[in-house]
């Protein structure tokens, strides 16, 4: 049974996230579990999700940007109150930030997308990105 679509194209931050993600070499968008995911072979970004607060208790964050940071950046991200550990992705190193926050720094989001992309993209796509300058 297919999951229902649980987002709208006018959700806060989705247009901007799409623009950043789909500008990367080989990136494509696919719907998974009713939400947009961005892939370069494997998922490097997802839109929308939840935070697991306790067993059986989740806080829905429909405008979350879910990513996998570089391990070097993880301690700083974990100390920053804007970020949270998303359900399902968290055990694999995923972190998230709510794009509905009016103070979103899109340059920072682009850097997080780039780092997450580089963790999963094939070497040839990373070389193509680096060649762009």
Give tens-digit pLDDT for 44-60: 999 999 998 888 888 99
Note the pLDDT tens digit of each residue in 6-58.
999 999 999 999 999 999 999 999 999 999 999 999 999 999 999 988 888 88
pLDDT tens for residues 67-106? 999 999 999 999 999 999 999 899 899 999 999 999 999 9
Count Cα atoms within 13 angstroms, Cβ side, for 77. Answer: 23
Distances (CA, A) of 62 to 1, 68, 80, 86, 94: 22, 18, 20, 12, 16
Structural domains of the chain, ranges and CATH numbers in brackets = 14-127 (3.90.1150.30)
Percent of the chain with pLDDT over 90: 89
Output phi, psi for 103, to 5 deg.
-95, 20
Q: Tokens 């990105």 correspond to what residue?
A: 129
Tokens at 20, concatenated: 């950043």
Distance (Å, rounded) from C-alpha 96 to C-alpha 87? 10
């Amino acid at each position: 049974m297919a999951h229902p679509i649980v987002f709208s194209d006018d959700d806060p931050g989705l247009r901007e996230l799409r623009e950043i993600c789909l500008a990367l070499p080989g990136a494509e968008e696919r719907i998974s579990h009713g939400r947009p995911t961005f892939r370069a072979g494997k998922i490097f970004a997802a839109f929308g999700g939840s935070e697991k607060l306790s067993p059986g208790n989740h806080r829905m964050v429909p405008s979350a940007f879910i990513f996998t940071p570089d391990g070097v950046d993880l301690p700083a991200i974990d100390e920053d109150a804007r970020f949270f550990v998303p359900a399902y992705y968290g055990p694999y190193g995923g972190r998230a930030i709510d794009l509905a926050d009016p103070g979103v720094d899109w340059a920072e989001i682009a850097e997080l997308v780039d780092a997450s992309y580089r963790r999963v993209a094939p070497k040839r796509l990373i070389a193509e990105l680096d060649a762009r300058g």
